[in-house]
Amino acid sequence: MKSFDFSPLLIGGYKKFVVGPALWSVPILGLAYFLGYKAFAISLFYGIIIGLLDTVIMITGMRKALPYDKDPQRGLAIMKKYRVYRIISASTLVVLLLKQGHNVVGTCIGLLLTHIFLIINLTIIAYRLNKVGDAKKGE
């Protein structure tokens, strides 16, 4: 199994990590809305927004930990701090949606879908990095 260095992508900006899952979520939202499940589509939209916020917090934590590659324990401490931020933000927003009477099942499905799309997006990025690496070796 190969390992990939995503740090140049993180330094350059994390639009690739956020835009992919956001764009992949649009057809699912449209499908739910046009099939007549408007309340479910709205709660799915909330879940996707929470998932994208979670992704941004995660990527920000990774970017903050990058300068500490010589001291991995300090970088790990930063990542753990941002994990707590992720848990607090997601759980707070879900509880607020529960208090407002929204369909939280759709919200959780949207959150889960965003993370699945993030994994697929990372796999595609790693595949492209692998092809570029193989092309450079062939020179």
Q: Is residue 86 part of a domain?
A: yes
Classify residue 132: in a domain, yes or no.
Answer: no
- Give a yes or no: residue 134 inside a domain: no
- Model pTM greater than 0.85? no
Q: By the 8 A CB rule, do 90 and 108 touch?
A: no
Is 74 part of a structural domain of the chain?
Answer: yes
Specify the length of the chain in residues. Answer: 139
As averages over each run of 10 residues, the pLDDT of the chain (139 residues) reads 60 71 84 87 88 87 82 86 90 88 84 87 78 60
Structural domain of residue 98, as residue ranges?
A: 7-127
Asked if 94 and 50 count as a contact pair (C-beta separation under 8 A), the reply is yes
Structural domain count, the chain: 1
